[in-house]
Chains A and B, each alone.
Chain A
Amino acid sequence: MSASSATAHAHVEHAGHHELGFVRTYVFSTDHKMIARQFLFLGLFMMIIGGLLALIVRWQLAWPETAVPGLGAILKETGGILEPSTYNMAFTMHATIMIFFVIMPILAGSFGNFCIPLMIGARDMAFPFLNMLSFWVTASAGVIMLSGFFVEGGHAAAGWTSYAPLSAVPSYTGVNWGQNIWCISLFIMGIGSMMGSINYITTIINMRAPGMRLFRMPLVVWSLFITAILLLLALPVLTSAVAMLLFDRTLGTSWFRPSGGGEPLLWQHLFWYFGHPEVYILILPAMGIASEILPVFSRKPIFGYHAMAFSMISIAFLSWVVYGHHMFVSGMNPALGMAFTVTTMIIAVPSAIKTFNWLGTLWGGRIQFTVPMLNALAFVSMFVIGGLSGIFMASTPVDIYIQDTYFIVAHIHYVVFGGSIFGAFAAIYYWFPKMFGRMMNTTLGHLHFWPTFVFFNCTFFPMHIIGVGGQMRRIYNPMQYEFLQHQQHWNVFITVSALCLGLGQIPFVVNFFWSLFAGLKAPMNPWNANTLEWTAPSPPPHLNWGPTLPTVYRGPYEYSSPESKEDWLPQTAPPVAAAGARRH
């Protein structure tokens, strides 16, 4: 440890010798905090595009084949009316963008980069250059993905799951380069995410501050550690699968095309072998964020720290053996379906453990309703609904009926919007003062949170109802089906709510940019929190701390401890009895 702190010391002095120019500070920066900000801006920008695509899809479902306001300028031939192929493109790209270019960059990319070094007491990532490369590779993948909107034939339109052979043969969708670009972009994105995950894992294993044992790490670091391992092992499977798909499309191979001896189900096996760990990649960081914020604003230790860490570890293991529940009616051998039912039921247990521990954290606390806390509470309650609706799918016979209906759409949105996005909002409100050195506005924060929470539920809860009524996902016009016509009023209600949900994001955008430039200067530790990032200045300078790294004496959640007069006890405060002896 002394050797590493000596090198770090040398680093600090070295850095002081020359100022970095604009490009090295803001564009090609190797500073993990700048890279975190870059990932955040990338994710928020893409969220606007993904969100608008969702509203276009919703408009079509509520008022089929009427002109979408504002689209007349783009879709000149139809006067703003969506055609089925454009509609397929819109929902395909909504999901692709939201999953790969919003949630992953914000949760894993931005908060992974920001939290890991600051919370374990490291000066930067283990491989700062690779870290920079990881962002720029991901950003290039984003640009390539967006370029697909401008090619002839339109962007990919085979769903974000891109089931072969629909995706493998251009004539089946009429999409040619769009789907190729989709493959190329995800291939590059996969490489970027691998660079990031290697970095996270190495940093957490090797660069913890003195005293930061594994079981003294904040749970958000645990969650990011596990997420990084899942990313490292899952993304290459997707990367290979999209390469194979691209070869089928362009080089005439037959991995997935039965006409050449290929197997359509192989795509589904590869895709979901990546896809189910992916779901946990999206939700685990949000779980970590909630586990971080609930204790701070309940002013008490997290309930069951070890249970929380081990439940995440068990989720990580189990996530590899549940993927078949996406394929119960795919034509996969039904005997395999039985096995996947068992594993899927088992993976619900660690999620239940986490939920009860969050409740336990609230029990007997002194709960402060700050904006990050409200978002964290929303995360917990929405995750409960998403988790419970998952049990319907785990039961194979019930899944036969609800597979490919709006019930699934409702479920995934409760998990990735109610879960991951509320987690992301909680994290932004919580770490914004540290990230940018300014406080966010509380009034605007409430104005953002309450409409988002209410209209989120108005948008996605009724999807359970129309799903149980039988409405299939990915259909262009529900009114084409007699058995769905009686519930069309729900589609109108959902769309109106979704539009309000979209409008509800305006206070957030205003708050974010206003606070960035004009917010109150943030103190070092605005929330009276214990973890290490709050011992660095706001925003932390290059290399985070002055000449000496913090030393860790205890776990991260010692709130209202009898050892301390205040209701918080930082990880760095020396124990009272040994304070004199240990200080040096």
Chain B
Amino acid sequence: MLDWWLPPNVSTFGQEIDWLFHLIYYITGVTFVLVFVTMLAFVIIYRDRPGRTARYTHGSTPLEIAWTVVPALILVILTMLSVPAWSRINMHVPPADFDVNVTAKQFNWQVNYPGSDTVFLDEMHVPVNKVIRVHLRSQDVIHSFFVPQFRMKQDAVPGRELVRWFEVMKPGKYEWPCAELCGFGHSGMRGWIYVHTPAEYAKWAAENLRAGAKPAAAPPEAEPKKEEKPKK
């Protein structure tokens, strides 16, 4: 199956989203071609030529019923496929292995782990193949937690805590932009999510998440942690 410009997906529910995306892509693609070919054909065949008379007709009830019922059926099927997937992704958080607090502000992501006071700026470290539960907040305006390769997006709303989750299948470093206009520094507000193998993660946690520990020096595979400062 072609990717159709989608960045490669690495999360579990991302597969469901991509499957639906492709399904809709093919349905709309076929509809588009059918409508366009029909329209082009009509425009060419029925163009004004000497001696042509137009057909005098006001419509056809069977046709009206057909082109009401067929699109309706396709849309009912799409609804029946979309709603359960939505429910699995956004309404039922599976038993979480791991909790992370994310508080957005102009123009950074602040990440904090339960049991540790350390606040990481614009970076999050998580293990692979675990259900990560994100507690998402904002301290000023609305931001949006967007990780393209996870197919995950959730607005962070000031005054609310929203709980969402993800599970990544492949270790790596993933870009984490803000997707909701949040002020003059909106563009460039982004962090990185580091997905580690269990061994690497244990090493990172031991160095960085001991209760009361100061933020350690940068772990070898990560960028140096930024001090809290306004956008460059």
Chain A residues in contact with chain B, CB under 8 A?
Answer: 83-85, 88, 157-159, 163, 165-166, 169, 172-174, 258, 262-265, 298-307, 329-331, 334-335, 337-338, 341-342, 345-346, 348-349, 352-353, 355-357, 359-360, 362-369, 377, 380-381, 384-385, 388-389, 391-392, 394-398, 400-401, 403-405, 465-466, 468-470, 472, 474-477, 480-483, 487, 559-562, 567
Give every chain B residue within 8 A of A472 (Cβ-Cβ).
146, 177-179
Question: Which residue on B lies nearest to A557, using beta carbons?
Answer: B58
User: Which among A346, A367, A398 is the interface contact of B24 at CB below 8 angstroms?
Assistant: A398
Known: A364-B57, A366-B53. A395 touches B71 (CB 8 A): no
Give every chain A residue within 8 A of B58 (Cβ-Cβ).
301-305
Query: A398 near B68 (CB under 8 angstroms)?
Result: no
- Does B116 belong to the interface (CB within 8 Å)? no
Query: B57 near A300 (CB under 8 angstroms)?
Result: yes
- Give the CA-CA distance A302 to B155 in the complex, in Å: 46
Known: A303-B58, A364-B55, A397-B20. A404 touches B7 (CB 8 A): no
Query: B187 near A480 (CB under 8 angstroms)?
Result: yes
Query: A366 near B148 (CB under 8 angstroms)?
Result: no
- Interface membership of chain B positions 66-87, coded 1 if the CB is closer than 8 angstroms to chain A and 0 otherwise: 0110011001101101110111
Query: B141 near A165 (CB under 8 angstroms)?
Result: yes
User: Which among A258, A334, A368, A468 is the interface contact of B91 at CB below 8 angstroms?
Assistant: A334
User: Which among A330, A355, A465 is the interface contact of B155 at CB below 8 angstroms?
Assistant: A330
A527: min CB distance to chain B, Å: 13
B65: min CB distance to chain A, Å: 10
**How many residues from B make CB contacts under 8 Å with A?**
86
Query: B67 near A331 (CB under 8 angstroms)?
Result: no
User: Which among B46, B79, B140, B179 is the interface contact of A364 at CB below 8 angstroms?
Assistant: B46
Query: A331 near B184 (CB under 8 angstroms)?
Result: no
Give every chain B residue within 8 A of A404 (Cβ-Cβ).
144, 146, 153, 179-180
Give every chain B residue within 8 A of A562 (Cβ-Cβ).
56
Query: B184 near A165 (CB under 8 angstroms)?
Result: no
Query: B54 near A298 (CB under 8 angstroms)?
Result: yes
A410: min CB distance to chain B, Å: 12
In the complex, identify which listed stretch (B27-35, B193-201, B203-211, B218-226) lies at the interface while the others stay far away. B27-35
Query: B21 near A392 (CB under 8 angstroms)?
Result: yes
- Give the CA-CA distance A385 to B4 in the complex, in Å: 17
- Give the CA-CA distance A10 to B182 in the complex, in Å: 61
A-B contacts, 7 listed (Cβ < 8 Å): A263-B159, A366-B53, A403-B179, A480-B188, A481-B175, A559-B56, A561-B56
Known: A173-B183, A329-B153. A397 touches B71 (CB 8 A): no
- Give the CA-CA distance A561 to B13 in the complex, in Å: 58
- Does B89 belong to the interface (CB within 8 Å)? yes
Give every chain B residue within 8 A of A367 (Cβ-Cβ).
42-43, 46-48
User: Which among B24, B140, B142, B185 is the interface contact of A395 at CB below 8 angstroms?
Assistant: B24
Query: B154 near A331 (CB under 8 angstroms)?
Result: yes
A155: min CB distance to chain B, Å: 13
Question: Which residue on A lies nearest to B70, using beta carbons?
Answer: A352
Closest 10 A-B residue pairs measured CB to CB? A258-B159, A364-B55, A476-B187, A470-B148, A304-B59, A300-B54, A396-B86, A388-B28, A352-B71, A560-B54
Give every chain A residue within 8 A of B49 (Cβ-Cβ).
366
Query: B39 near A359 (CB under 8 angstroms)?
Result: yes
A84-B184, A88-B186, A405-B179 known; 16 other A-B pairs, CB under 8 Å?
A85-B184, A158-B181, A165-B141, A264-B157, A303-B58, A303-B60, A307-B64, A335-B91, A364-B57, A368-B48, A377-B43, A398-B24, A404-B146, A469-B7, A483-B148, A562-B56
- Does B202 belong to the interface (CB within 8 Å)? no
Query: A363 near B71 (CB under 8 angstroms)?
Result: no
Query: B5 near A468 (CB under 8 angstroms)?
Result: yes
- Give the CA-CA distance A324 to B232 in the complex, in Å: 36
- Give the CA-CA distance A392 to B43 in the complex, in Å: 29
- Give the CA-CA distance A559 to B20 in the complex, in Å: 45
A87: min CB distance to chain B, Å: 8
- Give the CA-CA distance A145 to B75 in the complex, in Å: 41
- Does B213 belong to the interface (CB within 8 Å)? no
Question: Which residue on A lies nearest to B32, using beta carbons?
Answer: A388
Query: A359 near B78 (CB under 8 angstroms)?
Result: no
- Residues of chain B in range 74-107 having any CB-CB distance to chain A below 8 Å: 75-76, 78-79, 81-83, 85-87, 89-91, 106
